[in-house]
């Protein structure tokens, strides 16, 4: 009981005044930053109003804020928002605020809406292409007009499987190495009118891609479902509620065939004169003066959550989220 009391007292410092507290760490801070900035606009984008897409954008889009000014990002978003109840341009304001030096392109189906937005000065220096993302020739024209070579593509368009797949099959090749491709609102893919006849559900396509990432040396078996060939340069896939993001391999991550022998266990060509790499065991035995303090704060934070849950009925969730760097690095 005494130890619990001490932990609770320590938790006052660890948790601060927020009940329940938010997780700590760089990734969490980026997620929170995106969420908070998005809520400063009127109207608030449905990305954070009706959906929790701030999570994937905080994790995979916010790092682009730290690019040097001489290398600005280039982004394409499909869907200006002409069909939204609050009108077009909500996300445009968000992107321009987040990335003041970025080259921003928007693709929109409704040309009249785009013309009206331009007349009202809502788009500023934003570039816009128009047309139906379900039409391959239209998407190819988008690439020609924009020049392609995007760091980031966001599909928040019509949400039909036909549109998502047609756009992805053309636009993925225009993503730079190391770039990312977001697809929102995938949860509607099995319901009319989004479940396009003759097209697979995009969620099933991504499931097949994930199977190929995990089992790269075999095709998906019958228990996985219909097989869809994954582009060879997909590096990772991360999904959250209703949406996914795919990352393209960086140039340096492309497998060097000269290293195949080493990859498969033939270490004969390794330079034996090179200094040995420190092992995990070496790192564990090295002193870490802050390890006990970090652990104490983590335990105190968890104790705070438990105590607040007991006293005030808050939902108790595990919150030990501090990422420990390897000792010595």
DSSP string, 281-322: HHHHHS--TTHHHHHHHHHHHHHHHHHHHHHH-PPP-----P
Q: Which CATH code for domain 40-254?
A: 3.40.50.150
Rounded CA-CA distance 104/126 in Å is 6
Residue 104 has pLDDT above 90, yes or no: yes
- Per-residue pLDDT, 26: 67
pLDDT at 126 over 60: yes
Q: Is the Cα dihedral 32, 37, 42, 47 positive or negative?
A: negative
Give alpha helix (H) positions in the chain: 2-15, 26-38, 46-49, 54-60, 90-98, 111-119, 136-146, 161-171, 202-214, 260-263, 280-285, 291-312
Q: Going edge to edge, which strands form the sheet with 234-240? A: 127-130, 103-108, 74-78, 150-155, 175-183, 243-248, 234-240
For the chain, give every domain's residue range. 40-254
Flag the least confident range among 213-217, 243-247, 302-306. 302-306
What is the arithmetic mean of pLDDT over 235-250? 97
Q: How far apart are CA 140 and CA 131, in angstroms?
A: 11
DSSP 53-94: THHHHHHHTGGGGGS-TTS--EEEEE--STTSTT-S-HHHHH
| pLDDT per position as a tens digit, 217-239 | 776 454 555 689 999 999 999 99
Choose between 125 and 304: higher pLDDT: 125
């Amino acid at each position: 009981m005494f130890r619990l009391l001490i932990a609770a007292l320590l938790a006052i410092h660890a948790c601060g005044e927020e009940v329940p507290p938010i997780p700590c760490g760089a990734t969490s801070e980026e997620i929170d930053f995106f969420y908070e900035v998005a809520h400063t606009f009127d109207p608030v984008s449905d990305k954070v109003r009706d959906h929790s897409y701030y999570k994937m954008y905080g994790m995979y889009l916010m790092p682009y804020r730290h690019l040097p000014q001489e290398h600005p990002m280039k982004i394409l978003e499909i869907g200006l928002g002409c069909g939204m109840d609050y009108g077009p341009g909500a996300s445009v304001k968000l992107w321009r605020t987040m990335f003041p030096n970025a080259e921003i392109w928007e693709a929109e189906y409704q040309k009249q809406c785009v013309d009206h937005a331009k007349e009202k000065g809502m788009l500023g220096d934003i570039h816009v292409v128009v047309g139906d993302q379900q039409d391959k020739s239209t998407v190819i024209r988008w690439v020609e007009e924009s020049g392609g070579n995007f760091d980031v593509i966001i599909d928040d368009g019509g949400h039909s499987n036909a549109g998502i797949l047609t756009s992805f099959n053309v636009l993925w090749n225009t993503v730079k190495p190391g770039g990312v491709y977001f697809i929102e609102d995938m949860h509607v893919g099995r319901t009319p009118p989004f479940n396009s006849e003759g097209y697979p559900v995009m969620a099933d396509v991504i499931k097949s891609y994930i199977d190929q990432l995990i089992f790269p040396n075999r095709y998906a078996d019958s228990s996985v479902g219909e097989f869809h060939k994954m582009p060879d340069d997909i590096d990772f896939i991360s999904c959250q509620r209703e949406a996914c993001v795919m990352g393209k391999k960086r140039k340096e991550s492309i497998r060097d065939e000269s290293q195949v022998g080493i990859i498969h266990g033939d270490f004969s060509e390794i330079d034996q004169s090179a200094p040995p790499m420190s092992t995990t065991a070496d790192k564990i035995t090295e002193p870490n003066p802050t390890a006990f303090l970090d652990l104490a704060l983590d335990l105190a934070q968890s104790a705070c959550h438990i105590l607040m849950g007991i006293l005030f009925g808050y939902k108790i969730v595990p919150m030990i989220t501090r990422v420990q760097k390897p000792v010595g690095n």
